[in-house]
Amino acid sequence: MFKKISLTIAGMMVAGSALAAGTPYHEGTATIVKPTDDRNPLTEIISGIDFRKDMIRDMQADEFENPGMLTVEYGEGIWDMPDGSKGLSMADVWEDCSGVAADVAGTVYPRYHEGAGKVLTLEQQINFCRENAMGAAPYKWEKADMLGMTAYIRYMANGSTINVNVDGPANSMFKKGEELYYERVGQLDMSCAHCHEDNYGNYIRADMLSQGNINGFPTYRVKWNGIGSTHRRFRGCNKNIRATALPYGHEDYVALELYLAWRGNGLTVETPAVRQ
């Protein structure tokens, strides 16, 4: 039964498509990056914005019109704000605590952190620094302070090239993320690859499927009427295929985020991106 539903969904995507798979909405003007790592299954890497209509593209490009900039500005305000028992701000502790310059951090996460002994997302790195270097309480994942801080750190690297390292101690999580990307789950028996590798450039209902690259997160979605994290998007995808949504920061989501970030190596940071 599940395979029949899955095939029906896939057929709807192809039958309803105005374009062949792999053809971006803005063919001819899209920025296409060639992967430099032969492990990447894609032959071309395209940002999600190149699959969006002009209204969304224009909104993202204009910082005065981009609603995600309000979250960036909020994050800028708390970046220098002392907090916790040590009276220090994130600006005071970031580089020593994380091991990476603030204006580069937006290009390298998720990243293995020796002090934590594991791969951390940007959100987890922020909370590691708050708890260990500032003596402050951790931020809640999808609340204003965390979204503001992640958006501001990513924004500081805007226009810089994504360069996520998946070798060395990060490799086991990378392999786990790769497995999860191709694993069929949920009542619709679908994987991430069904939409974002096999059918990018095709329509599902009125929405064109992208490659699922995450170089613009945290992202403002019109549907959300606000900005959200990569893990919020993962949870939404799980619900769409009637799979169990995992908690924010779950190890599987960290592994999947690491794999997806690596797939987009060579793209530039576009935070805050805008999507419908």
Residues annotated as catalytic (active site), given as ranges: 237
Residue 35, preceding bond cis, omega within 30 degrees? no
187 contact partners, CB below 8 Å, separation of at least 6 = 2, 5, 241, 242, 243
Alpha helices in the chain (DSSP H): 2-15, 54-61, 69-79, 90-98, 102-105, 122-129, 144-156, 171-182, 192-196, 230-240, 251-263
Contact present, 241 and 222 (Cβ < 8 Å): no
- Which residue matches tokens 């609603």? 67
- Amino acid letter at 73? E
Contact present, 13 and 209 (Cβ < 8 Å): yes
**Rounded CA separation 206/199 (Å):** 14
Q: Of 147, 203, 156, which Cα lies nearest the Cα of 10?
A: 203
Cα angle at 123 between 117 and 124, to 5 degrees? 20
Query: 45: which strand partners?
Result: 33
